[in-house]
Structure 1
Amino acid sequence: MPYKDFLTDLHTSTKRDYLKRMTEYPKAESITVAKRFDKDFWDGDRRFGYGGYRYDGRWRSVAENIAAYYGLKAGSRVLDVGCGKAFLLYELTQAVPGLDVAGIDISQYALDTAKEEIRDCLQVADANSLPFEDNSFDLVISLNTLHNLFCPDLYKALKEMERVSRKDKYLVVESYRNEQEKVNLMCWVLTGECFFAPHEWEWWMQLTGYTGDYSFIYFE
Structure 2
Amino acid sequence: MAEIDFMSVVHKSTQRDYLARVNDPEFPKEKAAELAKKFDFDYWDGDRRICYGGYRYIEGRWEKVARAMVEHYQLPENARILDIGCGKGFLLYDFLKVLPNAEIYGIDSSSYALENSKEEIRSQLTLGNATSLPWPDNHFDFVYSINTLHCLHAHELDKALREMQRVGKQYKYLCVESWRNQSEKANLLYWQVTCEAFNTPEAWQWWFEQTDYSGDHSYIYFE
> With structure 1 as the length reference, what TM-score do the two structures score?
0.98
The superposition leaves residues 39-80 of structure 1 with CA deviations (integer Å, 9 ceiling, x where unpaired) of 111001012210000000211110110111111222210000
Contact 1:4 1:215 in 2 (8 A): yes
The residue number in structure 2 matching 1:82 is: 85
Q: 8 Å contact 1:2–1:213 — kept in the other structure?
A: yes
* Residue identity (%): 51
Q: Which runs of 5+ in 1 are unaligned?
A: none
Instruction: Return the alpha-carbon distance in structure 1 between the equivalents of residues 130 and 217 of structure 2.
Output: 17
Contact 2:44 2:53 in 1 (8 A): yes
CA distance in 1 between counterparts of 2:134 and 2:20 reads: 40
What is the aligned partner in structure 2 of residue 73 from structure 1?
Answer: 76
1:1-44 Cα shifts (integer Å, max 9, x gaps): 11111001210110000001100132111111001101111001
CA contact (8 A) 1:105 1:126 kept: yes
- 1:212 maps to what in 2? 215
The separation in 2 between residues aligned to 1:74 and 1:196, in whole angstroms, is 36
Instruction: State the one-letter code of the partner of 2:53.
Output: G
Any conservation in 1 of the 2:21–2:28 contact (CA below 8 Å)?
A: no
1:212 partner letter: G
Question: 2:5 matched to 1:2?
Answer: no
Alignment-mate amino acid for residue 37 of structure 1: F
RMSD over aligned Cα atoms? 0.7
Does residue 140 (structure 1) correspond to residue 143 (structure 2)? The answer is yes
Superposition misfits of 4+ residues, deviation over 3 angstroms: none
CA contact (8 A) 2:78 2:99 kept: no
Match of 2:111 among 108, 112, 133: 108
In the alignment, structure 2 segments of 5+ residues that lack a partner are none
Question: How far apart, CA to CA, are the structure 2 residues paired with 1:145 and 1:188?
Answer: 15
Matched, 1:122 2:132: no
Q: CA deviation at 1:137?
A: 0.2
Tell me the TM-score normalised to structure 2 length.
Answer: 0.97
Deviation per CA, 1:156-203: give whole Å up to 9, x if none.
Answer: 000000000112100100001110000000000000101010000000
Q: Mean Cα displacement is larger for which, 203-212 or 65-74?
A: 65-74
Q: How many residues align?
A: 220
Deviations 1:115-169 (A, max 9, x none): 1111100011100011111111000000000000000000000000000011210
SS of alignment partner, residue 47 of structure 1: coil
Q: 8 Å contact 1:73–1:98 — kept in the other structure? A: no
User: Which residue type is aligned with residue 37 of structure 2?
Assistant: K
Structure 1, residues 59-112: CA drift from partner, whole Å, max 9, x if none? 111011011111122221000000001100001111111000100000011011
Kindly indicate whether residue 52 of structure 2 is the aligned counterpart of residue 50 of structure 1.
yes
Partner of 2:17: 17
In 1, Cα distance between the equivalents of 2:203 and 2:93?
32
Equivalence for 1:203:
206
Quick one: which amino acid aligns to residue 22 of structure 1? V
Instruction: Give me the whole-angstrom Cα distance separating, in 2, the residues matched to 1:219 and 1:196.
Output: 13
Matched, 1:26 2:17: no
